[in-house]
Each structure stands twice: as structure tokens, then as C-alpha cells.
Amino acid sequence: MQNILIVLVFLAALFGGVYWYAGYSTRTGFAKDENQNFIPDAWEEKFSWFFSGKGIIMLLLGIGIGFTLAMVIG
């Protein structure tokens, strides 16, 4: 169960880093973002499902982390 917790925390950090970098790269002008949604246009074309499902992805990761923490501690 601890291995699953480590994987979920790593995935949450990885996805959070990708979301943060997408916003950072558009705010600094490194990537072009014509519609001002803080997602680079090149990424938006290829990975629109990843950015449109941001809320549900992070929610599921949070529930998974909470559940595995409860199982490990309890």
C-alpha cells in the first residue's frame, strides 16, 4: 500500500508541475497563447483532454492519496 501512495504522490507532483509550467510559460511569453487561458496553443492542440480534465484528474488523485493514507495509517 505504501508503494501505491508513493506513486500517487509522484503523479500529483508531476501533473501539478505540468499545469504550473503551462501557466508559467504563457505568462512569461515563452509560449504563444492567443485565447489567454494559460495553456500554450501547441499543447492545447495535442493534449486538450489533459487540460480540460484538470479538475477531475486532481480530484481523483487527491481521493486516491487520502484513501491510501487512511489505509496505511489506520
For residue 20, the enclosing domain spans: 2-73
Q: What is the pLDDT of residues 19-68, one digit of tens each?
A: 999 999 999 989 998 988 899 999 989 998 999 999 999 999 999 999 99
Number of domains in the chain: 1
Q: What is 23-73 written as a DSSP string?
A: HHHHHTTSS--TT-SSS-HHHHHH-HHHHHTHHHHHHHHHHHHHHHHHHHH
Q: The whole model's pTM is what?
A: 0.84
